[in-house]
Amino acid sequence: MSGHLVFRERINRPLVADTWPEFLECIRTARSDLGDPSSVWYRGMSRADYKLLPSLHRASNGLKKEQDMFNEYERSAARLTTKRSNDWELLFDMQHYGIPTRLLDWTDVLGVAIAFALYDTRDDGLDSSIHVLHPKKLNSKSGPSEIRRSVNDPAFDYKQIYWHGRPFNAVYPIAIDGPLQNDRMVAQQGAFTLHGSNVDYFDTDGYDCLRKIVMKPGTKAGAREFLEHSNLNAYSIYPDIVGMARHIVRKHIG
């Protein structure tokens, strides 16, 4: 077997951490495998068996309903929210309010990703996961060489590309920076991958720009201690009334 195939087989296997020190070593290994880039993005998931799919791809017939949901949100939200200047800002609002989109959330703050991996479940007996992404390498494979800035880029039109396939059909995920247009995005230092039609990219061709770390139950006591010392809780990550309520429940009930 060639060296390239050996590397691909190894990097396709997730790293597994049984303790908190092992988890930190896995983070170092993941970054090394990706070439020690100056910037990586993280995504935390409460269950290790969840796939890296945006909500639109997980929804039944989501792609067929995308335009209807967008148009209805644009029409209905006009009287309820701040006026948005372009389609991208509307799309980020939809993501923020829980409407299925092509966007998958990431962060460049490891602690935020760990919080997401732990806060969505009370069952510490489950395996959770942290995914480590090299966004520039992803884009070098998908098309643009840099992280794409969606807003105020006339050559990157959401509806034309993702609805009408002009000037190209969107197939692979693209790493984009969104505007920090609400308090949650600021607190979470949010970034996004914007997904095209290939739903299995991160399981197939995207292997060399991504590493997955499985957090076994033995990592979680140390992870929660780290979050406590870092003051990373539901309220600091969701700085609104919903986050405050979640934090109060966690603090007093567990």
Look at the chain and count its residues: 254
Instruction: Convert the pLDDT of each residue in 154-166 to its tens digit.
Output: 778 899 989 998 8
Distance CA 161, CA 172 (A): 12
Query: Helix or strand or coil: residue 47?
Result: coil
Q: Which amino acid is at 93?
A: D
| Structure tokens given for 108 | 């460049």
Phi (first) and psi of residue 129, to 5 degrees? -150, 150
Instruction: Convert the pLDDT of each residue in 207-228 to its tens digit.
Output: 789 999 999 999 999 999 999 8
pLDDT at 130: 98
Least Cα distance to 135 among 114, 102, 110, 106 occurs for 106
Q: How far apart are the first and last CA of the chain?
A: 50
Give residue for tokens 């395996």: 127
| Structure tokens given for 215 | 């957090």
Question: Is the CB of residue 69 less than 8 Å from the CB of residue 87?
Answer: no
Question: Mean pLDDT across the stretch 111-129?
Answer: 84
Q: Are strands 148-149 and 174-177 parallel, antiparallel or unpaired?
A: parallel
Range of weakest confidence among 79-83, 113-117, 133-137: 79-83
Buried b / exposed e along 179-202 (16+ C-beta atoms within 10 A) = bebbebbebbebbbbbbbebbebb
Distance CA 145, CA 39 (A): 14
Q: In what order do the strands lie in the sheet with 15-17?
A: 15-17, 210-215, 128-133, 41-45, 103-107, 190-194, 174-177, 148-149
pLDDT over 70 at 54, yes or no: yes
- Indicate the pLDDT class of residue 96, thresholds 50, 70 and 90: confident
Instruction: Convert the pLDDT of each residue in 8-45 to its tens digit.
Output: 555 678 999 999 999 999 999 999 999 999 999 999 99
pLDDT over 90 at 127, yes or no: yes
- Cis ω on the peptide bond leading into residue 167 (within 30° of 0)? yes
Query: Helix or strand or coil: residue 146?
Result: coil
